[in-house]
Structure formats: structure tokens, C-alpha cells
């Protein structure tokens, strides 16, 4: 489901969905699983999807379907976010944007059907462009098994992982390989991101209501004492309280979308300045498009292998012009802000 490009902020919520709704031809916004690539050409290669810190393959985190009304060249538009889940890194992040006109080589001109397909199709690891995808992660797979030449990988690491978890035996039965894909414990759990418009609410009103409730609950506490406490409240406290107030009505939100607006920061520390956001290679400035909320961590089960990832928010900035640099995927910019020890 697409978010609107103007007006109120739009919120994303994680919901379970049937597999067919999370495939590329449905233009999904989703968390986890394998990427539902938009354009089938010019995918980021293994080098672009390797952690700059540890060199391991990045895990697909989420994608947002975000077409731009009035832009014929961005009738379909998707943003794809990847992260490193290997400690002590847990901070390698890459984000890519891809956009297509309505008439293109990969999808029907008409909107996708809202009805499920008549038969359940097996997982397809080859795009319409002919590009093969990694059997483990679903990213571009230029490497192939030297024995069966039937399966593809993005890296030696994923080939080794698949070999250890069953391909060693399945390799002798190449006709059945498409149906023998084990759980490699590499992908994040898969959810659809359902978009809803944020209810209009004035933070000042909420703060006043909370303040009144606090006075009432304190009983005989003097208002002057509360005023004194407020005067000594740090900037860090105020920013964190503003964050909590903003999300209070919809505490399960995992994503906030609002192209061109300002993000809501969780901390007063590590807020980027304009000079910290690099310009797009086309020369245009990058603007804020959406932020990933810490609530998403509850859905990822990232610690099931004794590994963990963490963030306060992930703020994604994209080209203000949403330029078309060929038919491939353009790298954009993501800023990570961690949670500080706020009382």
C-alpha cells in the first residue's frame, strides 16, 4: 500500500500477510524475508550489500513502496533498506531507491489483482531480466554452485552456509532444488507494512493534559515545585518526552513516512546537521523521507541466535529531485540515532 506524498504523516504497522501479497508484482511495503525487488535490472551487487565494517553480507530489513504522484518516471518507486546484524558491527546500513514509469518491461500497465493466485507458486529466484538471486538472502547472486550449476549465491559465506544446511545432500538432486530451501536463520521474519494516516493531534495539548493529570495525582504537591522541576528539565529530556508524546496514540508504529518534513528524534544527541547529509550524485540535496522506529525491533527476533541489533531511529534521506540515474538502484543515505540513557 502506498503512502500519500502530502498532508499528514503516515504511519506503518507490521501485520502478517499471505506470501503472494508480498511479491514484487503486488508492489508491497514490507519487513524482512527476501527483497521484493521493484526493477529487475541494475540491482545492487554483493559489494554494495556488504557491511563496510565487517565485510559480511547485509540482511534485508525493509522496503517502502513510495510512488510520487505527478511524476511519470516514478509511477512505481521503492526504497530498500539493509542492515548488518553481526556483532560487534550492528551498524552497517545501506539504502537504495528504484523507480519505474507505469509502462515498463517488468509489470503490467494495469493495477495488480487484489485476489490471490489460483495456485501457490514456488519461490522464484530468477528475475524477469534473467538475473539470478542468492538462495539464502534473495539479493543478486553472481556465484553458482560448481557442482550442480543450479543454485546461485551472493557470496562465499552464503554458499558455505547453504552447503552446511542441506545443499550438500540436495545438490545430487538438482531437479528438486527449488523445493528444498532450508531456514538459514539469516532472514528477518516477514511482515507487510500497512499504512495509515496519523490522527491530527497537537503535542502542546497532550502535554497540557499530562501536566494536569500529574498535578492531580500528586495530591498536595505544590504547582510551584512542579514549575521549578520543569525549569531544570534538560534539552535531552524534552526531546525524549516530545518523542514519547508524538507516538503515544499509536505506540505500535514501526515507521513514519513524510517526505520533506522533519523527523522526530529520540535523543538530543547525534542529530545530523545539513552538512552531515551528503548531496545526491545528481547534485540535488537529499531530504528526509521516512524513519524506522525502535518498535520494529520487537518483530525482528534478532536475538534468537545470540545476536542483536539495536537503534533509536533510522532516518532515511533521499534525493529531493528523486532523480533517474538509469534504470538501476540509486544509493541514498540513512542516519542512525541511538537511544541515550534518558531518565
Q: What is the pLDDT of residue 225?
A: 52
Question: Cβ contacts of residue 148 below 8 Å, gap of 6+?
Answer: 171, 174, 177
Question: Ramachandran region of residue 27, left (φ > 0), alpha (ψ -120 to 50) or beta?
Answer: left
Task: Answer whether 93's CB lies under 8 Å from 334's CB.
Answer: yes
Task: Answer whether 188's CB lies under 8 Å from 300's CB.
Answer: yes
Helix (H, G, I), strand (E, B) or coil at 156: helix
For 245, which DSSP code?
H
Beta strand pairing status for 93-100 and 143-144?
unpaired
Task: Answer whether 321's CB lies under 8 Å from 284's CB.
Answer: yes
> What does the domain layout of the chain look like in residue ranges?
10-110+123-200+240-337
Q: Which residues of the chain have pLDDT under 50?
A: 1-6, 201-202, 204-209, 211-222, 226, 229, 305-306, 342-343
> Which tens digits make up the pLDDT trace of 266-315?
999 999 999 999 999 999 999 999 999 999 999 997 665 445 678 999 99
Nearest to 135 by CA among 154, 157, 160: 154
Q: What is the pLDDT of residue 181?
A: 82
Helix (H, G, I), strand (E, B) or coil at 22: helix
Residue given cell 543450479 in the structure block: 150
Amino acid at each position: 500500500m502506498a503512502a500519500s506524498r502530502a498532508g499528514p504523516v503516515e504511519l506503518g504497522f507490521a501485520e502478517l500477510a499471505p506470501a503472494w501479497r508480498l511479491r514484487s508484482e503486488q508492489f508491497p511495503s514490507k519487513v524482512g524475508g527476501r527483497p521484493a525487488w521493484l526493477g529487475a535490472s541494475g540491482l545492487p551487487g554483493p559489494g554494495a550489500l556488504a557491511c563496510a565494517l565487517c565485510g559480511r553480507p547485509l540482511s534485508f530489513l525493509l522496503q517502502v513502496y513510495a510512488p510520487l504522484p505527478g511524476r511519470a518516471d516514478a509511477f512505481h518507486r521503492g526504497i530498500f533498506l539493509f542492515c548488518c546484524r553481526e556483532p560487534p558491527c550492528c551498524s552497517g546500513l545501506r539504502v537504495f531507491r528504484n523507480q519505474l514509469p507505469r509502462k515498463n518491461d517488468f509489470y503490467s500497465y494495469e493495477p495488480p489483482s487484489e485476489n490471490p493466485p489460483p495456485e501457490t507458486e514456488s519461490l522464484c529466484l530468477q528475475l524477469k531480466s534473467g538475473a539470478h538471486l542468492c538462495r539464502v538472502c534473495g539479493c543478486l547472486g553472481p556465484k553458482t554452485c560448481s557442482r550442480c550449476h543450479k543454485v546461485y549465491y551472493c557470496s562465499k559465506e552464503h554458499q558455505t552456509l547453504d552447503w552446511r544446511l542441506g545443499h550438500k545432500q540436495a545438490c545430487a538432486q538438482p531437479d528438486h532444488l527449488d523445493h528444498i530451501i532450508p531456514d538459514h536463520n539469516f532472514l528477518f521474519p516477514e511482515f507487510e507494512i500497512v499504512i495509515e494516516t496519523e490522527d491530527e493531534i497537537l503535542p502542546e495539548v497532550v502535554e497540557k493534559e499530562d501536566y494536569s493529570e500529574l498535578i492531580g495525582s500528586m495530591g498536595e504537591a505544590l504547582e510551584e515545585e512542579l514549575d521549578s522541576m520543569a525549569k531544570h528539565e534538560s534539552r535531552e529530556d524534552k526531546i525524549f518526552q516530545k518523542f514519547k508524546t508524538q507516538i503515544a496514540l499509536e505506540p505500535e508504529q514501526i515507521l513514519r513516512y513524510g517526505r520533506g518534513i522533519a523527523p522526530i528524534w529520540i535523543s538530543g544527541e547525534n542529530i545530523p546537521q545539513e552538512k552531515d547529509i551528503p548531496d545526491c550524485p545528481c547534485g540535488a540535496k537529499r531530504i528526509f523521507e521516512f524513519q524506522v522506529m525502535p518498535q520494529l525491533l520487537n518483530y525482528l527476533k534478532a536475538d534468537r541466535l545470540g545476536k542483536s541489533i539495536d537503534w533509536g531511529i533510522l532516518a532515511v534521506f533521499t534525493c529531493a529531485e528523486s532523480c533517474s540515474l538509469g534504470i538501476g538502484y540509486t544509493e541514498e543515505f540513512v542516519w542512525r540515532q541511538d537511544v541515550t540513557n534518558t531518565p
